[in-house]
Amino acid sequence: MILLGTCCLSTVPSTTPAYPSLPLGSYFDLHKPLLYSKPSKFTSLVINGHRRICDLFDLHQEHVPYEVAWSWQKEIVREKRAQIEKEGDCNDTLIILQHPPVYTLGTASTMENLKFDMKNAPFNIYRTERGGEVTYHGPGQLVMYPIINLRTHKMDLHWYLRTLEEVVIRVLSSTFSIQASTVEGLTGVWVGNEKLAAVGIRVSSWITYHGLALNVTTDLSPFKWIIPCGIRDRQVGSIKELVREGVGRGRADLHHLNDASLIHITHESLLEEFSQAFQLEYSYKSISSSMLYERK
């Protein structure tokens, strides 16, 4: 089924047909606070500079249901708009997490890019206000949701999109010795014919939300049920697959890393490159899962 508008937990079906080759991963334990890693060594690169503060919610080990994260983002946007109206500015925010399996549709999405019966969808489907076409989110994919005030960066959506892509390109190069690029006329980050990162954003009063998704150890089989981003003649890929294939031969040590380690080093590199690209200093924040679920 397609779920529209602002979501609350009561709108989510209690059961979803399972996709046979994809482990669903764990959902939140509603009685257990989320735990976040302590600031890692790269934060020293920005702590002494004169940079904007970015509130960081580091949930990269958590599988946060899409509708919860979506509602949370929209609430933060409303709070920032109110703060800007009252005080003239606000801190930026970055959320990094994973999602349980889900398909999302952007403003340009059409049903022609779905290869399944809508009445028997493999996973929940959400039509959102972000730009772009259909995509898949699931375990092993790191998703970054920057909620930043472009008035204090650059009021240029093309610049913002290209900067998000550049963050991923730098991560792949510096951490994995993988040479990635953009493709003219398309969004996202590519290695050859494979798309490793999708980008889809929304901007409200120059405050951004939604963001980017990078396939790290993702099971790519659910992408076969859709035409990802509406692009028929290209494939999707992951860091894990490229490392196994020997792409980025300068990092032979990466071949022996397990999935958790690949997620960890990719997450740290994403945070570092994002802070450098947007000249931000992180202020680590925490939130309990029960507080997240209170958001409607």
Q: What is the CATH number of domain 52-288?
A: 3.30.930.10
- For the chain, which residues make up each domain, given as ranges? 52-288
Neighbours of 192 (CB within 10 A): 13
Distance of CA 277 to the CA centre of its chain: 17
65-69, 204-208, 252-256: the lowest-pLDDT one: 252-256
DSSP E strands: which ranges in the chain? 2-3, 52-63, 92-98, 102-105, 125-127, 135-137, 141-147, 189-191, 194-204, 207-215, 235-236, 280-285
Distance of CA 184 to the CA centre of its chain: 22
The pLDDT score that the predictor gives to residue 41 is: 40
pLDDT per position as a tens digit, 61-79: 999 999 999 999 999 999 9
CA gap 160, 201 in Å, rounded: 9
DSSP E strands: which ranges in 32-188? 52-63, 92-98, 102-105, 125-127, 135-137, 141-147
Q: Percentage of the chain with pLDDT > 70? A: 81
Cα 262–Cα 223–Cα 219 angle in degrees, nearest 5? 30
pLDDT per position as a tens digit, 79-106: 999 999 999 999 999 999 999 999 999 9
User: What pTM did the predictor assign?
Assistant: 0.83
Neighbours of 286 (CB within 10 A): 13
The pLDDT score that the predictor gives to residue 40 is: 41
The answer for residues whose C-beta is within 8 angstroms of residue 258's C-beta and 6 or more apart is none
The answer for residues whose C-beta is within 8 angstroms of residue 237's C-beta and 6 or more apart is 191, 194, 195, 196, 215, 220
CA gap 265, 254 in Å, rounded: 10
pLDDT per position as a tens digit, 128-139: 999 989 999 999
CA gap 135, 114 in Å, rounded: 10
Catalytic site residue from 7, 54, 90, 229: 229
Distance of CA 252 to the CA centre of its chain: 27
For this structure, is 54 an active site residue? no
Q: Output b/e per residue, 171-181; b: 16+ Cβ within 10 A.
A: bbeebbebebe
CA gap 235, 170 in Å, rounded: 21
List the structure tokens of 149. Answer: 């005030």
